[in-house]
Structure 1
Amino acid sequence: MFLVLAVAGLCKGVQGQNIQNNPGSNHGNKFEQLGTILPSPNEYRTASGAPGPKYWQQRCDYDIKCELDEVNLKLTGSEAVTYFNNSPNTLTYLWLQLDENQHSSTKNANYQTGSSMPRQLNAGVVDRLEEFKTDNGYGFNIVKITDALGAALKYTINKTMMRVELPAALKPGQKFTFNINWNYKIADRFKYGGRGGYEYFPEDGNHLFTIAQWYPRLCVYSDFQGWQNHQFTGRGEFALTFGNFKVQMTVPADHVVGSTGECQNYAQVLSPVQMARYTKAQTAKEPVQIVTLDEAKKAETQKSKTKKTWIFKADNVRDFAWTSSRKFVWDALPAYVESKKVMCMSFYGKEAYGLYSKFSTKAVAHTIKSYSKFTIPYPYPVAQSIEAANGMEYPMICFNYGRTDKDGTYSEATKYGMLGVIIHEVGHNFFPMIINSDERQWSWMDEGLNSFVEYLTEELYDNKFPIRGKGPAWAIVDYMKLPKDQLEPIMSNSENIIGFGPNAYTKPATGLNMLRETIMGRELFDYAFKEYARRWAFKHPEPADFFRTMEDASGEDLDWFWRGWFFGTEPCDLAIDSVKAFKADANAPLQQQRDTVAFRKVDKPMLTAFDDISKQRNREDKNIQFLTDQDTTLHDFYWRYARGLEPLDTTTYQVPVPATTEPADEAAKEKVAGKYFYDVAFSNKGGLVMPIIVEWTFKDGTKQIDRIPAQIWRYNEKNVTKTFMKDKEVASLKLDPLRETADIDESNNNWGTMPAPSKFAVFKQKQQPRGQSTGITPMQKAQEKKKGF
């Protein structure tokens, strides 16, 4: 139901960062080192970008028991949490995340956003506005928190964060175990949004549960920030501590559970037939259905009243998520990464069967193989894709979309959208589940890096995979054209970004692809990118660690690129301003081809123009003895000349001036006879420096591309001229023919009418020794007079 209402407009924008070093100049800005923009290296994080000798990080282990109440849509849990203080600091409290409070009308982060009335209003929005006037009953109910002996612990809830006060200070090297009992009402994801919740299927009366960000869990305590306890607003995702998990989920007996980690009791929860299929899947060449479509359809109609408990274990993970539904078909296929078996699995309802049964598990296998090639070998035993009409990632499990029409058909857009989201979400196992960046602060470090490797993986899936913006430079041009008040630097906090998709996903992914294909080359880039993944696997990297590692491992100074693409908002708009053509003239006369004579006087003594205070005080200081006063052997002609002890010669003399050039020999003339020379003037109209890529079209129809590094702009960031020599006459020029630099205005990239060539002379340069006197010197004339010349 929609209501017709009056409309009011809103306008909003932000200003980009100005990080110029010398803003009044046309140089000294874009190629300066990042310097103090990056944090100072220390014992924990080195200047090379690698973890330092005293790098540390905390650990947290969980033993969780929970029960899913499908009838009342409620989850009840208890957890034993063991926190290890590996830091050099003494802690008096711990911070935990309560992400489920996002759904509460009273405990959410209260990050409000401006709004306006649309012409048509969904009646459900009115219900939500009314609901948020009171407590809607969602969010965590913390029943109790106790230490290992059962003594109550004091705690404070601040919106989506909870501080637990320790009964005694937790010193370096110590651990602390405590227990939390909690419950919450599970939210309808389609009504309330969020990462976890349920989807209800009214046609068969069943639910599909995605249980994510569902238990109170430790925040990261780090060397660079202390506690990362920024509120959870739903956009910036999370920063979490690695640890080991044991989780027991009690669910309706006919539900199928997919989860982070490996199941410890399949033999107890699966039927003998299903267990046999799972065993068969361990060595299969094609996906094996452990739960078939017919079995899933039957379960939808015969809802069990009993319960089963599934037990899962996961080591060295930063989070834990799971899914539960009787609607699931489940298939599996092994993949091998450096001889290690990884069980690739998919869970999906009948609504997605026509797509997921054909593509999902094979896409999972392709993804972990491709990402392993570009980063590190996939370290976990399982990788799973769950069709849940959304897209979100957790260790070893992710939730994706992709459903067929009622007749089982689907569009091309649906197919490739599904493949893209599966690759993207499975890829998140690497960024940030393993290379564990802070998503709440720097979304680009997980979304951008992951989108980049997603692009590489899609390209390896099918050479005609329809890429939608995450990689090719041309695809981001429309975003780069936006007015400055609609742009933010990539290096912005995730909560404050207006264009979140382009800023956190597309622009960083595009920048990395530009580095790989255009600026560094694949060999240097791939080595450095793998080194970053290797260094920071299972650790907590920051942006400076990435920037420094990419430079350290490649030997490329990329500060200009980080400065422009990541810290700035200026676009690339390079232009050809003019072209001048030249051709050699073998018979042209040379300037200064002959030796000549000049009339000169000898030089006066090189006395300092002003007798400064230092010279005066040095003369007055009785403790100072000048070396030439102590050692008279140092008194040469010019020592005497400076003191008037040698007379000043005022005579004018003829001095021979030898030619600096001489006619070229026939070999040199022949060398340039067939060459064409071009002076091309370029301008940087957009402000972002980029390599100059020139495509030459010759009069015979052939083409050639020259690539000039971005450093050509370092002495003048606005205008530069470059001379080119070609073997054939040029008909036209074009900048960036393959659209590699995200140039926002291609109308100034072409030069179609070449000027007639000007003639120039060919000569050879005479070489003269460096540091040797030329002309006439006072000493020379003084010696001539002594000898009677």
Structure 2
Amino acid sequence: MASLGFAVQAQNIQNNPGSNHGNDFEQLGTILPTPNSYRTASGAAGPDYWQQRADYKIKCKLDETATRLTGSETITYFNNSPDPLTYLWLQLDENQHSASNNAGYQKASNLKTTNLKDLDELDRSQSDDSYGVNILSITDATGKKLSYTINKTMMRIDLPATLAPHQQYVFNVNWNYKISDRMRYGGRGGYEYFPGDGNILFTMTQWYPRLCVYSDFQGWQNHQFAGSGEFALTFGNFNVEITVPADHIVGSTGECQNYAQVLNSTRLARWQKAQTSKEPVEIVTLAEATQAEKQKATTTKTWIFKADNVRDFAWTSSRKFVWDALATTVEKKKVMCMSFYGKEAYNLYRKFSTKAVAHTIQSYSKFTIPYPYPVAQSIEAANGMEYPMICFNYGRTEKDGTYTEATKNGMIGVIIHEVGHNFFPMIVNSDERQWTWMDEGLNTFTQYLAEELWDNKFPSRRGPAWAITDYMKLPKNELEPIMTNSENIIQFGPNAYSKPATGLNILRETIMGRKLFDYAYKEYARRWAFKHPTPADLFRTLEDASGEDLDWFWRGWFYGTDPCDISLDSVKGFQIGDGKKVTLPEPKSKTVKLEKPLVPEFDDISKIRNRQDSSIHFLVDADTTLQDFYYKYDRGVIPYDSTFTYQKTDPAAEPLDDSTSKKYAGRYLYELSFTNKGGLVMPVIIEWTYTDGTKETEKIPAQIWRKDEKHFDKVFLKNKAVSSIQLDPLRETADIDVTNNQWPQAKVMGRFEVFKSKQATRGQSQGMNPMQKQ
């Protein structure tokens, strides 16, 4: 029934097909799962809510020369469900790289785009490439062998006896695998080889066999790992021993238990200094990291880490790392913010990374729940991927240490995004394999809020309503609803990241208002922290905590693909009482000149309100150490101009007859006619400009479309004559066609598309840049 429910939820079911009403504003009803004692109609966990737990004790050894990892783990599985279990499902995600045990889902291809990498993949798929997890043994706590079956990227362990409710089971897994070249074969984990110095940077992710989620709403989540759909994971406690070459530096989920043994006295002293420092302290300096690249240790060291109540565990290891750290405080609790990066990223990461980590957990804690973990880390690995307390990001300079503004902003954005994933889904633990948007969309939205607090000129592209319109206007055969399974999405970035984030921002800024939305959003995070929420739990909680009926919005924005395109079709204007026509001035052509380097092309409503809020202080303005070349460049010290023009033509209004009441004599009536051309119902925002130059903005709630979802007329009474009307002046509703939003109609300039060339390494600054030229 759960799987059938998912299929139903992906459709925007209509109650009255073919009618112009009775569809968009009907309640979601049976589209959402029926509330029960596990999940209530309010969106909160019910009195009988339960979830499983899995604790891990792992020992692993990295063979750098052979690029192989060998490990053994003891897993304690707690059956907190009311169900007896006869088997357990584990994920073997590293089988993604196996020629024989991958998910088996193939993608279409053609000769026109086939390149050498594709040929390598085709050749590799025809034979055993030696990649994937090798299971050496699986035994129970007494050492007795257990029966198991590997199905592609999943493994079922058959239990010798039924695991009853509220019992636990202990078993052991021994394994190894060949680590893949991530830069060649892709994927979220592996290694990167640096030919210039002959060293390797390891990003160890999805590296150990781990439990699938068993839940109240679908049983075992054992969908195959095909690459795009990420993970559904169970919370537990981890104790992990990692043996690596003695000159490697290791960053990991959790807190290190033996720094005193693996760090020399100088580095240990720096670590102690970082415990109270508000500026990043280099625990491993650039000079030390550069020197370490020149020779390789022949001995090993074992680093020990402990992490409680986390859903996953990842780590990184390399002798290339510079390592810096500072301490920040979240509700009187210290959090160590750290970064690990090679010399290739030094001029960017040393200045920005660790402070961006601290800024992220502070900002997210404000909008959701206080950050609960003791550590937060950013690792430069030409990547973008997240795990509890650690994430992998990109951002490398050119050889002379300069960088483009796009590289800088991309790096800051990806750090905020990946560190932010600690909250969604590492704490608010949604099922990424089924609903990518529940972690990526919510995280991208909160990332947008954090970017806005980093710098009021930050060029965020995911969050403002105006930035989603190019996607929303695509042909319907190129779109799918947000409520679509992860593996079925074509436009992955816009669908799973941008559109959900934009929808939440529209709720916050335009439909609900900040006060109502922020309270409800925080309540969702509080209710579902360290639990497994579903889409219905989010939808219901936001309505329950705000008192707003938002079913119409979920229907249109999440279950549908219709865009917003509200057209102002006509305007009729009359002055009451004197029978004279209103003479409206002809608008003049004017050229608007904007100072605009790589900053937002539109000053959206969030930026405006944030500047007006005296309680908000932008970090780059307060902390002068963050003010680099582009700080001045963005603020016009080094000018950059762009121009556009438009024409206005004001028609004359028609008079009413003289019988109108003297009470209204001299005042003005305007009848506006609107058409919903896009199909998505949204509020109608009207900016009136009067002949004396003053302006007024009115907002008509989306419910204006209830009785007719296609068209409505509305009459307005004004004290002054109107010279022009603009719909959605701050572009809050993601209207895809602004040419029909004005009266009189304005001449629209043609659009010139600018494309950035693909970079060889993700986040690698290349070519001449303004900083380099300066």
What is aligned with 1:302?
A: 295
What is the Cα deviation at residue 122 of structure 1?
2.8
Whether 1:451 and 2:428 are equivalent positions in the alignment is no
CA–CA distance in structure 1, aligned partners of residues 381 and 448 of structure 2: 23
CA–CA distance in structure 2, aligned partners of residues 414 and 379 of structure 1: 31
Larger radius of gyration: 1
Within a 5 Å distance, the mapping from 1:576-655 to structure 2 comes to: 576-585=568-577
Whether 1:53 and 2:57 are equivalent positions in the alignment is no
CA–CA distance in structure 2, aligned partners of residues 330 and 753 of structure 1: 58
What is aligned with 1:134?
A: 127
CA–CA distance in structure 2, aligned partners of residues 203 and 581 of structure 1: 73
What is aligned with 2:564?
A: 572
What is aligned with 2:368?
A: 375
8 A Cα contact 1:731 1:753, kept in partner:
no
What is aligned with 1:84?
A: 78
CA–CA distance in structure 2, aligned partners of residues 587 and 697 of structure 1: 23
8 A Cα contact 2:739 2:745, kept in partner:
no
Partner SS for 1:585: coil
2:687 aligned residue (695, 720, 726): 695
8 A Cα contact 1:16 1:484, kept in partner:
no
CA–CA distance in structure 2, aligned partners of residues 313 and 17 of structure 1: 44
CA–CA distance in structure 1, aligned partners of residues 178 and 361 of structure 2: 35
Whether 1:526 and 2:513 are equivalent positions in the alignment is no
8 A Cα contact 1:64 1:246, kept in partner:
yes
Partner SS for 2:136: strand
What is the Cα deviation at residue 671 of structure 1?
4.9
What is aligned with 2:17?
A: 23
8 A Cα contact 2:237 2:307, kept in partner:
yes
8 A Cα contact 2:228 2:487, kept in partner:
yes
CA–CA distance in structure 2, aligned partners of residues 734 and 586 of structure 1: 28
Counterpart code for 1:82? T
Residues 100 and 710 of structure 1, relative CA distance in 2, 3 Å threshold = same
Partner SS for 2:76: strand
Whether 1:107 and 2:101 are equivalent positions in the alignment is yes
What is aligned with 2:239?
A: 246
Counterpart code for 2:726? K
Within a 5 Å distance, the mapping from 1:213-362 to structure 2 comes to: 213-362=206-355
8 A Cα contact 1:16 1:487, kept in partner:
no
Residues 585 and 244 of structure 1, relative CA distance in 2, 3 Å threshold = same
CA–CA distance in structure 2, aligned partners of residues 305 and 744 of structure 1: 61
Whether 1:170 and 2:163 are equivalent positions in the alignment is yes
Residues 130 and 521 of structure 1, relative CA distance in 2, 3 Å threshold = same
TM-score by length of 2: 0.84
1:431 aligned residue (417, 424, 429): 424
What is aligned with 2:763?
A: none
What is the Cα deviation at residue 587 of structure 1?
11
What is the Cα deviation at residue 753 of structure 1?
8.2
1:759-778 alpha-carbon deviations (Å, 9 max, x no partner):
xxxxxxxxxxxxxxxxxxxx
1:394 aligned residue (387, 395, 406): 387
Counterpart code for 2:211? L
1:723 aligned residue (715, 720, 738): 715
What is the Cα deviation at residue 292 of structure 1?
0.5
What is aligned with 1:609?
A: none
CA–CA distance in structure 1, aligned partners of residues 293 and 745 of structure 2: 72
Whether 1:473 and 2:458 are equivalent positions in the alignment is no
Within a 5 Å distance, the mapping from 1:742-753 to structure 2 comes to: 742-752=734-744
CA–CA distance in structure 2, aligned partners of residues 325 and 110 of structure 1: 33
What is aligned with 1:363?
A: 356
Partner SS for 1:118: helix
8 A Cα contact 2:182 2:188, kept in partner:
yes
8 A Cα contact 2:192 2:201, kept in partner:
yes
Counterpart code for 1:179? N
8 A Cα contact 1:98 1:140, kept in partner:
yes
Partner SS for 2:453: helix
8 A Cα contact 1:732 1:753, kept in partner:
no
Unaligned stretches of 5+ residues in structure 1 = 1-14, 589-667, 755-789
Partner SS for 2:110: coil
TM-score by length of 1: 0.82
Counterpart code for 2:111? M
Counterpart code for 1:304? A
1:71 aligned residue (65, 69, 77): 65
CA–CA distance in structure 2, aligned partners of residues 536 and 442 of structure 1: 16
What is the Cα deviation at residue 748 of structure 1?
1.1
CA–CA distance in structure 1, aligned partners of residues 67 and 103 of structure 2: 23
Partner SS for 2:339: strand
After TM superposition, which residue ranges in structure 1, 4 or more long, deviate above 4 angstroms? 668-671
CA–CA distance in structure 2, aligned partners of residues 17 and 88 of structure 1: 32
8 A Cα contact 2:253 2:315, kept in partner:
yes
8 A Cα contact 1:92 1:170, kept in partner:
yes
1:196 aligned residue (172, 181, 189): 189
CA–CA distance in structure 1, aligned partners of residues 174 and 260 of structure 2: 29
CA–CA distance in structure 2, aligned partners of residues 94 and 35 of structure 1: 34
Counterpart code for 1:534? R
1:202-228 alpha-carbon deviations (Å, 9 max, x no partner):
111110000000000000000000000
CA–CA distance in structure 1, aligned partners of residues 420 and 123 of structure 2: 40
8 A Cα contact 2:442 2:501, kept in partner:
yes
Residues 326 and 396 of structure 1, relative CA distance in 2, 3 Å threshold = same
Residues 671 and 258 of structure 1, relative CA distance in 2, 3 Å threshold = farther
Counterpart code for 1:86? N
8 A Cα contact 2:72 2:173, kept in partner:
yes
8 A Cα contact 2:577 2:662, kept in partner:
no
Partner SS for 2:270: helix
What is the Cα deviation at residue 726 of structure 1?
1.5
What is aligned with 1:657?
A: none
What is the Cα deviation at residue 675 of structure 1?
2.6
What is aligned with 1:706?
A: 698
What is the Cα deviation at residue 190 of structure 1?
0.8
1:232-277 alpha-carbon deviations (Å, 9 max, x no partner):
0010000000000000000000000000000000000000000000
Unaligned stretches of 5+ residues in structure 2 = 1-8, 581-659, 747-774
Q: Which moved more, 1:367-376 or 1:720-729?
A: 720-729
Within a 5 Å distance, the mapping from 1:650-689 to structure 2 comes to: 671-689=663-681
